[in-house]
Amino acid sequence: MRERIALIGAGRVGSSLAGALHHAGLEVEFIVDRDAAAARAAAALCGAVPAVTLAALPEGGPALIFLTVPDDAIAAAAAELAAAAKAGPGTAVVHCSGSLPAAILAPLRPHTRRLASMHPLQSFAGRKQEWRRWRGIHIALEGEEETVVLLEEIARRLQSRPFRLTAGAKIDYHIACVLLSNCLVGLYDAADELLAGVELPAEEKRAMTEPLLRNTIANVIASGPGAALTGPVSRGDTGTITAHLRALAAERPGLLELYRTLSLRLVKLAEQEGRLTLLQSEQLRKLLNHPDE
């Protein structure tokens, strides 16, 4: 495959994708970012030409452009590309949002019909060494058929696992990704706040929680959430939950709602698993829905 590839947006996904394409033997020719230093840093990962404006791109456009800008900037970037006439009939334009459909690229329709979305199911938190994180991951593809077929081939070159997703399924799919990744980080942060009374250095606290976190995730992946569920809700320990609710209401009211909402979800899960008696379920629901009574 010898596509001329350009990336617009030298952030986390842009930089890691540039590195991954390069290591897969694909040639990234241009990296555009309004921040010259970011464009240079990403270009250095793949031997591309860095640029701060679209003017660097060839007339009529390269064969493949990845728009790796934030979701809210994708429509404007597509309009900018259309206005600059940097995408022609042979140019495939692809964005990387998990929630937006390829149709968000509609401003480009007068120039090219080859529009698609490609969402890597991965969390890219850094910029430099992240190219390895494309290996073995699933990549959701959606959009114009010929472009999706091209992306399937590229995904396989990246040693990733492409799959197709309909535009209508993207929102729920992306909320799931956010719950599993970003909200997990939020939960970790809330737990960190609650661990303020444990007098250990920060690194040791992270090491202390690691087996719990890793084993829980391993159990969910091996057997599903029902079988992985442990803890006071699954045992119907209303006394413990009462104590938790009281402590949160008194000391950390900001975390009370989070605890109640998630615990109610766990009651439903424990019920489905046949782990609670009818009385235990009723007591837990009453407690969690009306913690003040």
Ligand X SMILES: NC(=O)c1ccc[n+]([C@@H]2O[C@H](COP(=O)([O-])OP(=O)(O)OC[C@H]3O[C@@H](n4cnc5c(N)ncnc54)[C@H](OP(=O)(O)O)[C@@H]3O)[C@@H](O)[C@H]2O)c1
Taking alpha carbons only, the member of 105, 102, 122, 99 closest to residue 12 is 122
Q: Applying CB under 6 A, does 143 fall inside the site for ligand X?
A: no
Q: Applying CB under 6 A, does 7 fall inside the site for ligand X?
A: no
Site for ligand X in 74-93 (CB under 6 A): 77
Site for ligand X in 91-110 (CB under 6 A): 96-98
Q: What's the closest the beta carbon of residue 124 comes to ligand X, in angstroms?
A: 4
DSSP secondary-structure letter at 57? S
Q: Applying CB under 6 A, does 13 fall inside the site for ligand X?
A: yes
Q: Find the binder of ligand X among 11, 60, 226, 291 (CB under 6 A).
A: 11
Please count the other Cβ atoms lying within 10 Å of the Cβ belonging to residue 289: 10
How far, CA to CA in Å, does 221 sit from each of 191, 218, 224, 228?
22, 5, 6, 9
**10 Cβ partners below 8 Å, 6+ apart?**
18, 31, 32, 33, 35, 38, 39, 41, 42, 43, 50, 68
Q: Find the binder of ligand X among 123, 216, 242, 283 (CB under 6 A).
A: 123
Q: What's the closest the beta carbon of residue 213 comes to ligand X, in angstroms?
A: 19
**Contact flags string 23-62 toward ligand X, x per CB under 6 A:** ---------xxxx--x------------------------
What's the rounded Cα separation, in Å, for the pair 141 and 28? Answer: 20
DSSP secondary-structure letter at 177? H
Q: Applying CB under 6 A, does 160 fall inside the site for ligand X?
A: no
Q: Applying CB under 6 A, does 68 fall inside the site for ligand X?
A: yes
Q: Applying CB under 6 A, does 124 fall inside the site for ligand X?
A: yes
